[in-house]
Structure formats: structure tokens, C-alpha cells
Amino acid sequence: MENPFSAHVVVTVKRHVGRLLLPNLGLKRWLYDVTDYLWGTKTLVFELLSTEMDPTTGLEKGTIKGYAQKVGREEEDGEITYETELVNIPAEFGAIGAVLVENQYNTELFLKDIVIHGVPYGPLRFSCNSWLSPKSHSHDRRIFFTTKSYLPSNTPEGLKRFREEDLKILQGNGHGKRESHHRIYDYDVYNDLGDPDRGDEFKRPILGGKQHPYPRRCRTGRARSQADPLSEVTSSNFYVPRDEAFIDTKQVTTPAVKTVYSMLHGFIPALEAIAQDIESRFTNRVMLLPSSKYTWEPSALLPRLIDFAVDKVVRILLLGPSQAVLDSDKFFWFKDEEFARQTLAGLNPCSIRLVTEWPLESKLDPAIYGPTKSAITNEIVEQQIKGFMTLNEAVEQKKLYILDYHDLFLPYVAKVRKIEGKTLYGSRTLFFLNPDNTLKPLAIELTRPPIDGKQQWKDVFTPCLNSTGLWLWRIAKAHVLAHDSGYHQLVSHWLRTHCSVEPYIIAMHRQLSAMHPIYRLLHPHFRYTMEINAIAREALTNVGGIIETAFSLGKYSMEVSSMVYQKQWQFNLEALPADLIHRGMAVEDPNAAHGVKLSIEDYPFANDGLILWDAIKEWATEYVNHYYPDPGVVKSDKELQAWWTEIRSVGHGDKKEEPWWPILNTPEDLIDVVSSMMWVTSGHHAAVNFGQYYFASYFPARPSVARINVPTEEPNSKLWKRFLEDPERVFLDTFPAHIQATVLLSILSILSTHSPEEEYLGEDMEPAWGDDPVVKQAFDKFSGRLKKLEDIIDQRNANPKLKNRHGAGVDPYQLLKPYSEPGVTARGVPCSVSI
């Protein structure tokens, strides 16, 4: 190429969401239009960067500058197009590798993409998807690279300095308060869960450090509390780097707005029922009054109507299952089979584990918590399995499984019982594997440690037919379900998919350039997670938040999640096969379909999850091998090594000395690491999140808290007498309070909802992948495998041999079906931990 050439540049941007919310206000539109006129063609300034160095000076070549002018009117979705012509670009300028952009507008803009037409090797596309602060807020010009990915070692000379400087901007200097327009990623401990300035009762432990190990969150730099200088003050605005925030319509449907919708959504059925009751209760009375004198007066009726409405809402939420449940089986929640089935195909299929040692025994200090031996004896087990086999045979043949929340919760029993309206036990629930691969509950053990001068108390409850035993068994199940609900929300969901992932995201932005191939592989899996986590710290995990008020552990919830992180969380167990093997739910088997053989063949979460895992790992394998054909390049990739080192030593620094951290030396090591991250943010999160409303909206089926003790704990108490007189009332009193049920339902609806803009796994190809033929082919193959998974899941749900997902009144397991329509569907696997 010897002759100069001309290029036509098309820039697509979106206005700030505030303009989209008020599109028809004439004055506001007039002000925007006047501003456009005053700025003229200088609204967006951009400079093209060459990939080459000047051969004469050995320095970077000069830039080619242009000014983009708005063309046409703003589209309904807020998109605006800017265009310009660049003429006589010297042939010796070389290939364009990046563009610098400056926003001279009076407000921030969302830069979608830049396309340069007319270049000999084009058209050339820059996929930006980033907020541009106005020049008045930031004097830094933003840089965007082409869709071609480069490892640090093969970065074009003309782009090396810009690659390094962009990372330095994102790293910041570790000082100062973060403002909403900043793009800085840094670490801090969870020192903003409490509000010590309001008093001692609002203090909460700082999570992160020797006393309470925890992953790190994004640093905000807010002021420190006067009462506790180690804690940050609370605020209604939690900083996240600007590009982590929702965009456009997704921002319009943030949880604050969706909460209003959700509450209305919950009240509408109740109000319909209220209307009918009002008609029946008041019509006759109104008919007796002279119509000319008395009228319907809403203001006078409103207080009574509200009380009546709340009562109706509670009745509908607490005493009536959702329509989806009614359609299958009105009495499903009473059944032991359903209680057991949901450990394999329910909301928390990640806790059930194989019993490998007998007798069951606590590892806690007996001097503090009492005798360690379980009260579930050989005789109890053999009586329940009715001579089918001996206990020893059941253990040897892998027939016994357990939900074990005994040692985890027992240290907090005395503390939780001081909270009004909550009680707690340590619990063990034992199951037997039937020949048809279903589980049968055998026994529940509830334990209270020595407390208030009383010795340790424990009791074992079993399924039985006599009235007293049957009601006690139901009450014991309610307590176990509350324990499982708390563990699910704190550990399986929050800790493993939200909290532990945030350090990966922070380290990626700090250490991997946006042109790094691993950045481009992982970025779709990390999109919007930091925004969701910030909202959680503001309303869910904070003092007085939903987690504290609606779940069993109350104000000790986050402290318990720290203890679980310290004792249980390991990165090398986050991969699905490793997790299954660790829990005894599978063994390695190179001849098996997925390299593992399941202990329970009909385990819907694992059955579907392993296909999804294999697809993810195959996609990661082809992608990584494409960019790292030489195994030694992984070890020499300075950005990649800095990223992995920072995750281990800073983001998860409280566990940096653990021996189980993988070493990142080969492509195989890298494939294992990224596959685990991709699985956790997609498949694992989908399995524990998007079924929350479906499984837990009917509270007797899955209570989030138990409010009263088991009657047998004090057999001479008033509770025991009341139980004998009215066992059903005691049973219902064990469930969450009305307000707890109502509020939590609205939150579950939000968490379970797919937005219209949901980005599903394998659905949309990133521009950088589409521009590389090898990567495009690998992604197409990945996408095809996920489409096949849809059909496989449908076939399995229709298979009468698979009783944990098919049968009369049995809900099909669909949580790992890759795609879904918007709304609450209990299926669909988004790329990232988002809603």
C-alpha cells in the first residue's frame, strides 16, 4: 500500500439512562439539542493510533485526529450515531491498532462501538461498551483496542506503552474516595456490613483478616466510622467502577425498581381476593343504608383495608402454594420423598454428601459443646431400613447420605437464641439410597449445646405413623429446611458465586489488558457481578438486611459465612467434578462419560451439570490452546502470572499459604483455572439462584427460619402442652413470621428473574471471537453443544425411570437448561453472576 487512503468513521453511543427515562420532556430535549449545536462537530474527539513505530525516529507515530458529528435523530433506544470522514491518511501510517476518545459533551455517554470503513484491511471494528465521562470529570483520554487479541509478548510496538498505561489507570494509587465516574479497581475488607455509629447493636465483625478470613471486595474509600475507625460509614451509594454498572434498560430495572414491581406483583392476587371478600362482607351492610346519604369513602376505609390486605397477603403467601406448585401436587411439601428429592434436584443440591465414617461424631470441643457422639444409633438406622441390609453393609455399599449442619451451627445456637423470634440447633439428616435411585429420609438429629446452666440436649426424630411422632417429624423437617435455606443462601449462593468471584474480577481489570485473550474469554462471565454484589452489601448482607432478618442465623449470618470460607472453601474444589468427588457423590473413572462415576445415578444437578461442565471445558481448551500453542508461554506471560498471583495473595490473601492453589505453568493449568471460574459464574450460579422463587416462595415447603424450639426439648413446658392440644398450630408457628415471609418473597422474585437483556451462555458471540476464524469455530461448536443440552434435559425429564425428575406431581429439573425467556422461569444459564 503506497497511496494515501480515506476512511469513514461511524461511532454509536447512548445517552445517560436519565435521558431515556424522561424522553418526552420538551425542555430537557431542547437543552440537549442546544448543547449539541454549541459543541458542533467537537462532541467526540478521537485519535487513531498505529501499531507501528516510526522507522526513522524509533518513536511512536503521530496520531490522526478527527471530530465526530451527530447525524440523524436519536433512536427510541437512545442510540445516537456520529460520523466523520478522514482523508489522506498516509500509507506509511500502518495498521490502526487503537483509538483514543475524548468526550467533550456535558454529560457521560455510553460508547457502544466504533467502526472504521475504507481501510485496506477493514472494515475495522472497536467494540467499546463503556461509559465515557465528560472532559470536565476526567482529563484522561480513553483508549480502545481493536478486536484482535494480543499476549503481552506479541503486542505491536506502537501499542505497548498504551497497554501498560491503561492498566496503571485502572489500578489507581490506593488512596482517596472513589467517585461514581471512576474506573479504579482496588481491594478492601468487608468493613461496611455494620453501622457502629448508630450504637453497639449495629456493629458487625470486619470480614477479611486473621480473625475472620474472607475474600476481598472492591475498595470505595469512604469515610471511617467515628465509633469504629476500622469500619466505613454506610451510605446509599456503593461505589463500583463505572463500567461494572448496569446499562440502559438493565439499569432501569435495577433491584430498587424491580422491588416495587415485585411487591405489586405479590399483592395483586391478594387484592383480587380482597375485592371479593369486601363485596361479601360489606354489601349487605351498605344495602341497608340510604344510598343518597352514604357513599364509599376510601380515606375512611383505607386503614382497615390495609390491615385486611396484609392479612390476605399473608394467608396467600403462607398457607397457599404458588400456582406452579398447585398445578403439580397440592400436598408435595408434606411428603418425605420430596424432602429427600430436593437434596438432589432442588435449590441447594450442593450440600448432600456420602457417609464414609460411622458412627457419626462431632469434631467440636466436648468441654464446651457436650458429648461428641451422635444420637443416631445403629439400631435406629437398621429399624428404618427394615432389614434390607445391615448398617455396615449400607456404609460399605454407599447407601447412606447426609445433610450435616451440626458442627457448623452448634457454636451459634446460644447466640441466635438471644434474638427474638429465632431459634437454632445443630442438625444432621440421614438418608438411605433406594434401589430406584431415590433417597429415603431415615432420621433427623437436633442438638442444643449446654446453655443457661442446662446440659447438652439432643434428640432423634424418625418418620412414623403415630400422631405425636408424625407431627414431631414434620417439625424437625421444618428446622432442617431452615438450616438448609440459610446454608444455601450464605454459602452455596453468596459465598461461592458472588463473594469469591469478586477478587477474580478486580484482579482481571488490574492485571490483564483489555486486549489480552484471557480477559476477553472471562469478561462476559464477570459482567455486572460487582454491581450486584454492591447492591447485596447495601440491602441483603448488611446490618438489618434481608439475610439477617429472614434467615436463621440472624446477625451472625455473615460471620458464619466467614467461618465456612476459612474451613471449607478451596479453589481446587470449585470445578464441578472435583466438588462431586470431594462430597463422595462421585469417583474418578476414566471410562465414564465425564471422567467420573456418580454414586447416585439419578442426580439431576450433577447429571445435567456435568454435560454443561464438559462443554465449558472443551470451549476453554480450544480457546486457550489457540493462543498458547507453546506451553512455555503461559509461564512467561507476565500479565497472566500477575493476575493469578494477585488473586491468590491479595483477593484471597487470607488463604494465600494454602497448598491446594493450582500452579499456573502450562496451558492445562490455565484451562482448569478458567473452566472453574466459567462454571461457577454460569452453571453453578444458575443452579442455586434462578429457582429461588419457584422452590421457596411457598414457605412451608422451604422455611427460611425456625421461630420456636422443638416441643420435646422441654417436655414439661407450656410449649409441650400446647403441642399436645394443637400440634398443627405449633407446626405453623415454627415457620417464618408473616412480615418475614412477605418481604423475602419479593426478594426471591427479584433474584429469580431473568431480564429481557439477559446474556445467556453460548448465545451471543463476542466481537473479538467472531473476528478470529479459529475462535469463532470453537464458539459455534460450544453453542451447538448447549443447544443439544436443552434437548437432553427435556428427554431426561420425560424419562419415567428417572424418578427424581419425573413422576406424578414431580417437578422436572430445568435449572441448567441454557436458555430462557424473560421473567421467573426456573431455567436459563446466564454467563455471569447477575440478574
The residues annotated with a catalytic role in the active site are 493, 498, 685, 689, 835
Selection from 685, 419, 323, 319 nearest residue 532 by Cα: 685
Residue located via cell numbers 461442565: 613
Q: For residue 542, which of 207, 185, 188, 184 has the smallest C-alpha distance?
A: 207
d(CA 142, CA 130): 10
Helix axes 638-646, 502-511, angle to 10 degrees: 150
Nearest to 441 by CA among 390, 392, 480: 480
CA distance 102 to 832: 30
Alpha-carbon torsion (333, 335, 340, 342), positive or negative: negative
* 3-state class (DSSP) for residue 446: strand
**Three-class HEC string of 570-604:** CHHHCCHHHHHHHCCCEEECCCCCCCEEECCCCCH
Rounded-to-integer distance, Cα 426 and Cα 557, Å: 15
Work out the end-to-end distance of the chain between its first and last CA atoms, rounded to an integer number of angstroms.
49
What one-letter code names the amino acid at 205? P
Under 8 Å between Cβ of 167 and 516? no
Side-chain half-sphere exposure of 785, counting CA atoms within 13 A: 20
* Spatial contact of 48 and 159, defined as CB atoms under 8 Å apart: no
Residues in a beta bridge with 142: 101
Here the cell at position 644 is 493469578
Query: 115 has which bridge partners?
Result: 10, 125
Q: Which residue has the cell 456520529?
A: 82
- Nearest Cα to Cα of residue 796 among 636, 577, 608: 608
Of the candidates 435, 353, 343, the residue with the CA atom closest to the CA atom of residue 389:
435
- Cβ–Cβ under 8 Å, residues 116 and 123: yes
- Indicate the SS3 state at residue 781: helix
- H-run or E-run covering 741: helix 738-751
Side-chain-facing half-sphere of 714: CA atoms under 13 Å:
10
Cell of 178: 472513589
Residue for grid cell 468427588: 581
* Ordered DSSP codes for 639-696: HHHHHHHHIIIIITGGGTT-TTSPP--SHHHHHHHHHHHHHIIIIIHHHHHTTHHHHH
Q: Provide the 8-state DSSP code for 766.
A: -
- DSSP letter at 62 equals P
